[in-house]
């Protein structure tokens, strides 16, 4: 692969390259389009790790995405400076790489449904449990695989290329460079079956768009529906991992799942606490520890960034040849950086994700998703099975009307109708999903 193609300024849905605005690059426009989108704004009411937190200090998807984008910008810019000579030959500045990775990081969670990964799992499980019902028998095996393995990454691609701004005409019309960096899994769900992949980044409905992006960027094709990653996608992934490892720990303290001492021990892997300047004498007890952790977290992030940048440059040939594969830059860093990130993830898995209080909340979130799917999918199938709209029962019509612009039409293919249901449900905030599901349950009592 070549940087000249990988950093394409051409936009999806537009034939010619737009003229650059004074004081705002093509890639900065990508950042602005994502930030000002309604899908990005809704991340403020969506679960990061803890569903429906009562503590306002706990992260939702929005601050998480902003923090990841900050780390991603640093990663991209620092890599750009290391590669400045070869990039300037093609008219690319180091800051352009920072802007591309920042834009990709801003959008990396934009397709997540209510309740985060537990919401993803609940959607997939509902379609798996109901696979033998008439309402799913008209789907192809590939279409059913999409639904049974609902993936926020694939929904994110659908949002940025179809649903926001220019509806089904390019969506946000982002540059191919940003879309490539955004595509963490540039393959369809076929590979879940054929190659044992655990995740994918494109539904059957966006196969042509994936092909268009990959062709424009010169990504190396692995199979008819799979390509190697864009090198900058590894930086986006690393930024996400760095923030998960550091910020989840602080949320764990806020929720009472982790102690200050436990978090300090993890940060000490990469931070010398003796070198943290003394704080104001009025800081005592937990306040002192909290501020020390916040300072140490910044130093840990910086150390991780430097390790990832050096690894990217050292392994550039493998990244450009598509030979880096499923390896990640954090793991390739080795040493203290790898140990820090892995130890933090292990602590989160043991003390946070498996905590009984969190698991109880996830049971409630699964009920919410299942209730919504049962009602909206049944109403959609009733519409699909009818001779025309007038044959649909009033209760189904009222349910479909709640979907507004996402409402399926009677003559649509069933798969596309169900995708519109998922567009509607996955776009809900946590609290709105609970509200609608509770109203539906009350009506059926």
Buried b (16+ CB within 10 A) or exposed e, 203-236: bbbbeebbbbbbebbbbeeeeebbbbbbbbbbbb
* pTM to 2 decimal places: 0.93
Average pLDDT of the chain, as a whole number: 89
State the residue for tokens 């290329």.
161
Which residues in the chain are classed under CATH 1.10.3410.10?
232-356
**Mean pLDDT on 257-270:** 87
Which are the contacts of 212, defined by CB distance < 8 A and separation ≥ 6? Answer: 12
What is d(CA 416, CA 187) in angstroms, rounded to the nearest whole number?
19
State the residue for tokens 């567009």.
423
User: Looking at the domain 3-230, which fold is it?
Assistant: Hypothetical protein af1432 (1.10.3210)
What is d(CA 41, CA 162) in angstroms, rounded to the nearest whole number?
17
Return the sign of the alpha-carbon dihedral for residues 146, 148, 154, 158.
positive
Model confidence over 278-296: pLDDT tens digits? 766 666 677 777 788 888 8
Model confidence over 364-413: pLDDT tens digits? 788 999 999 999 999 999 999 987 767 788 888 989 999 998 999 988 99
Model confidence over 103-116: pLDDT tens digits? 999 999 999 999 88
Model confidence over 43-61: pLDDT tens digits? 988 866 655 556 566 778 8
Coil, strand, or helix at residue 264? helix
Which residues in the chain are classed under CATH 1.10.3210.10?
3-230
User: Looking at the domain 232-356, which fold is it?
Assistant: putative deoxyguanosinetriphosphate triphosphohydrolase fold (1.10.3410)
């Amino acid at each position: 692969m070549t940087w000249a193609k990988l950093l394409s300024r051409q936009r999806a849905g537009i034939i010619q390259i737009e003229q650059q605005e004074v004081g705002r690059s093509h890639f900065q426009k990508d950042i602005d389009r994502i930030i000002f989108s309604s899908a990005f704004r809704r991340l403020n009411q969506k679960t990061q790790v803890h569903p429906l937190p009562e503590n306002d200090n706990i992260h939702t998807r929005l601050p998480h995405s902003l923090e990841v984008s900050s780390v991603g910008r640093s990663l991209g810019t620092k890599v750009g400076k290391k590669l400045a000579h070869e990039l300037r030959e093609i008219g690319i500045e180091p800051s352009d790489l920072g802007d591309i990775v920042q834009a990709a990081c801003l959008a990396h969670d934009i397709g997540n449904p209510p309740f985060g990964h537990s919401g993803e799992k609940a959607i997939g499980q509902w379609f798996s449990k109901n696979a033998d019902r008439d309402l799913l028998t008209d789907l192809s095996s590939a279409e059913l695989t999409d639904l049974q393995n609902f993936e926020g990454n694939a929904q994110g691609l659908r949002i940025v290329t179809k649903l926001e701004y220019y509806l089904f005409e390019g969506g946000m019309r982002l540059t191919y460079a940003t879309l490539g960096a955004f595509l963490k899994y540039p393959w369809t769900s076929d590979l879940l079956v054929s190659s044992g992949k655990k995740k994918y980044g494109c539904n059957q409905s966006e196969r042509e768009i994936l092909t268009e992006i990959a062709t424009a960027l010169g990504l190396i094709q692995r199979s008819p529906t799979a390509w190697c990653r864009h090198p900058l996608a590894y930086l986006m992934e690393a930024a996400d991992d760095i923030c998960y490892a550091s910020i989840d720990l602080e949320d764990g303290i806020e929720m009472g799942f982790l102690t200050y001492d436990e978090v300090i021990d993890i940060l000490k892997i990469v931070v010398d606490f003796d070198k943290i300047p003394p704080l104001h004498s009025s800081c005592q007890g937990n306040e002192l520890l909290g501020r020390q952790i916040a300072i140490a977290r910044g130093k840990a992030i910086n150390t991780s960034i430097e390790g990832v940048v050096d690894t990217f440059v050292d392994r550039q040939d493998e990244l450009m040849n598509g030979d880096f594969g499923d390896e990640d830059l954090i793991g390739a860093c080795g040493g203290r950086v790898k140990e820090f990130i892995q130890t933090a993830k292990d602590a989160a898995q043991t003390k946070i994700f498996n905590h009984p209080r969190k698991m109880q909340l996830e049971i409630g979130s699964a009920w919410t998703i299942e209730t919504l799917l049962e009602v909206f999918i049944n109403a959609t199938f009733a519409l699909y099975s009818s001779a025309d709209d007038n044959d649909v029962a009033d209760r189904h019509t009222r349910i479909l009307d709640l979907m507004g612009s996402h409402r399926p039409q009677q003559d649509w293919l069933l798969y596309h109708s169900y995708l519109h249901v998922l567009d509607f449900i996955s776009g809900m905030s946590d609290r709105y999903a609970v509200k609608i599901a509770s109203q539906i349950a009350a009506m059926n009592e």
